[in-house]
């Protein structure tokens, strides 16, 4: 071993392995529980849940009304609840009103409907800038909004979580709820993209 | 505190990252393990779930630990800090084990007796019932106090001292500023307050509205 190597701080990957060893050998955590938590967010809880909520709201006016009145309860109707979803407020994007969500203080995000946040949402550039220059940030992300669209940025500073109900794209009137689900992407439900017709 | 985590409105971070539709949940396998272990470690160190204490651990990390190790590296470092403060880990224990894993021969410090904080939740989650009426009504003009609390706070710097309008009265919730320090839940009413971008950033700001959820004690009435 050279001095240079030993001065270098161990990588996060190595430190994660070290922490798991230290906690497992004292039976403070069970690696199987770690495995199951990873599986939960890699396979069960993700933006597909939110897409189902959105597609239902687009095709069922009564559900849409319930969703906008009490997001948490309407989302739970479809079986989605859990950590970081204690109180979810749904806001609707229209041709003249655009909502976009951020957490400037950490990376709060509505896990039960969107899963864990993507890299761009956790990045300091997004966290710092979208509250100050949302139109510029959205344009950088590929969403150019007309000047007359009113933008509202929601900074998730408490345990309230925000979900955007994106606008249903024209030309999708004939599509069933089931066919609409795959059109709804994660980014449209945070408010940094629009849903595109197929 | 006016910490590293309070990023709203700060400059110098460069362009935003382009979204990737096919981004995996965890880019590397250690990130998933760090994610799960951070949640489990935080519960262990607090004697129960306390996301406020975890967020306070994150915001007390230094620059390298907060920024350079990335999001899940930050979670791992926050977990290490909480486990060290509660003596589940001896100072330097994790570093020593990591070095031994890469073939160095470092003495590992002896295991210590954990010291748990005096902490017990009154209910699950963060929503609570408050017996007093909300001090503010929807449509009221309010000002975010121009204060700089020494410990954990969810009052972002960029709204401090600025005037807004109460948009929604949200369910009352545990007060993070005391709960993060195990000083009681002290639940309060929570308000979504709407700020005009020009109030926050000056007359030349891009026209927009910004809302933030603010706890009642962060706010004062505007006469």
Sorted by where each starts, the structural domains of chain B and their CATH numbers stand as 1-114 (1.10.472.20), 141-221 (2.30.30.50)
Count of CB atoms situated within 10 Å of the CB of B118: 7
Does this model's pTM top 0.90? My answer is: yes
Residue range B62-86, pLDDT digits in tens: 999 999 999 999 999 999 999 999 9
Q: Which residues of chain B have a CB within 8 Å of the CB of A106? A: 5, 55, 58
| Six-digit token string for A161 | 């979580």
Beta strands in A24-148 (DSSP E): 87-92, 97-102
Is B132's pLDDT higher than 80? yes
pLDDT at position A8 is 87
User: Cβ contact (<8 Å) for B173 and A135?
Assistant: no
DSSP A133-179: -HHHHHHHTT----TTPEEEEEE--SSEEEEEEPPPPTT-TT--HHH
Residue range A52-93, pLDDT digits in tens: 999 999 999 999 999 999 999 999 999 999 999 999 999 999
pLDDT at position A3 is 45
Average pLDDT rounded to a whole number, residues B105-134? 95
H or E element at residue A78: none
Is A6's pLDDT higher than 80? no
Is A2's pLDDT higher than 50? no
- Collapsing DSSP to helix, strand or coil, A8 comes out as coil
Q: How far is CA B107 from CA A11, B93, B110, in A?
A: 19, 9, 9
Average pLDDT rounded to a whole number, residues A145-165? 97
Same domain? For A99 and A124 the reply is yes
ipTM passes above 0.90: yes
Same domain? For A126 and A35 the reply is no
Same domain? For A138 and A125 the reply is yes
Rg (CA), chain B: 20
User: Cβ contact (<8 Å) for B13 and A151?
Assistant: no
Average pLDDT rounded to a whole number, residues B195-207? 98
Euclidean distance between CA atoms B28 and A195, whole angstroms: 29
Euclidean distance between CA atoms B206 and B43, whole angstroms: 42
| Six-digit token string for B12 | 């110098």
Residue A51 lies inside a defined structural domain of this protein: yes
Judged by a CB distance cut-off of 8 A, whether residue B221 touches chain A is no
C-alpha torsion sign, points B94, B96, B98, B101: negative
Residue A53 lies inside a defined structural domain of this protein: yes
Same domain? For A22 and A80 the reply is no
Torsion, Cα A78 A82 A87 A89, to 10 degrees, reads -50
Residue A133 lies inside a defined structural domain of this protein: yes
In the set A6, A11, A108, A119, the catalytic residue is A108
Q: Which residues of chain B have a CB within 8 Å of the CB of A115? A: 25
Tell me the pLDDT band of A5, cut-offs 50, 70 and 90. Answer: low
Same domain? For A21 and A71 the reply is no
Structural domain boundaries, residue A15:
11-43
Same domain? For A36 and A93 the reply is no
User: Cβ contact (<8 Å) for B7 and A124?
Assistant: yes
Average pLDDT rounded to a whole number, residues B119-130? 95
Q: Is A106 a catalytic residue?
A: yes
Euclidean distance between CA atoms A72 and A90, whole angstroms: 9
Same domain? For A153 and A81 the reply is yes
Same domain? For A127 and A36 the reply is no
């Amino acid at each position: 071993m050279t001095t240079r190597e030993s001065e270098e701080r161990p990588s996060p990957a190595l430190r994660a392995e070290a922490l798991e060893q230290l906690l497992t050998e004292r039976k403070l955590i069970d690696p199987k529980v770690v495995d199951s938590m990873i599986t939960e967010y890699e396979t069960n809880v993700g933006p597909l849940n939110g897409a189902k909520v959105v597609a239902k709201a687009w095709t069922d006016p009564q559900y849409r009304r319930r969703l906008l009145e009490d997001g948490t309860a309407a989302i739970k109707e479809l079986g989605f609840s859990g950590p970081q979803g204690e109180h979810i407020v749904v806001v609707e994007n229209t041709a003249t009103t655009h909502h976009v969500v951020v957490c400037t203080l950490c990376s709060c995000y509505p896990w039960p409907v969107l899963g864990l946040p993507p890299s761009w949402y956790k990045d300091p550039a997004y966290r710092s800038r979208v509250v100050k220059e949302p139109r510029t940030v959205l344009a950088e992300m590929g969403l150019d909004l007309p000047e007359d669209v009113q933008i509202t940025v929601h900074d998730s500073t408490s345990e309230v979580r925000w979900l955007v109900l994106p606008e249903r794209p024209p030309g999708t009137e004939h599509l069933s709820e089931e066919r609409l689900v795959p059109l709804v992407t994660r980014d449209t439900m945070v408010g940094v993209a629009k849903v595109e017709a197929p | 505190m006016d910490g590293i985590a309070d990023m709203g409105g700060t400059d110098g971070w460069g362009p935003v990252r382009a979204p990737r539709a096919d981004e995996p949940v965890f880019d590397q396998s250690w990130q998933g393990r760090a994610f799960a272990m951070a949640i489990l470690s935080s519960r262990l160190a607090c004697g129960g779930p306390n996301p406020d204490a975890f967020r306070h651990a994150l915001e007390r990390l230094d620059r390298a630990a907060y920024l350079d190790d990335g999001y899940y590296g930050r979670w791992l470092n926050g977990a290490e800090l909480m486990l060290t403060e509660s003596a589940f880990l001896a100072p330097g224990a994790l570093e020593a084990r990591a070095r031994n894993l890469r073939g160095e021969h470092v003495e590992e410090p002896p295991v210590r007796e954990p010291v748990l904080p005096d902490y017990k939740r009154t209910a699950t989650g963060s929503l609570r019932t408050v017996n007093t009426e909300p001090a503010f009504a929807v449509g009221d003009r309010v000002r975010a106090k121009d204060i700089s609390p020494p410990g954990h706070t969810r009052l972002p710097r960029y709204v401090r001292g600025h005037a807004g309008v109460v948009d929604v009265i949200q369910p009352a919730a545990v007060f993070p500023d005391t709960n993060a320090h195990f000083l009681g839940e002290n639940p309060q009413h929570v308000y979504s307050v709407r700020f005009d971008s020009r109030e926050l950033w000056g007359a030349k700001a891009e026209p927009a509205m910004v809302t933030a959820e603010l706890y009642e004690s962060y706010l004062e009435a505007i006469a």
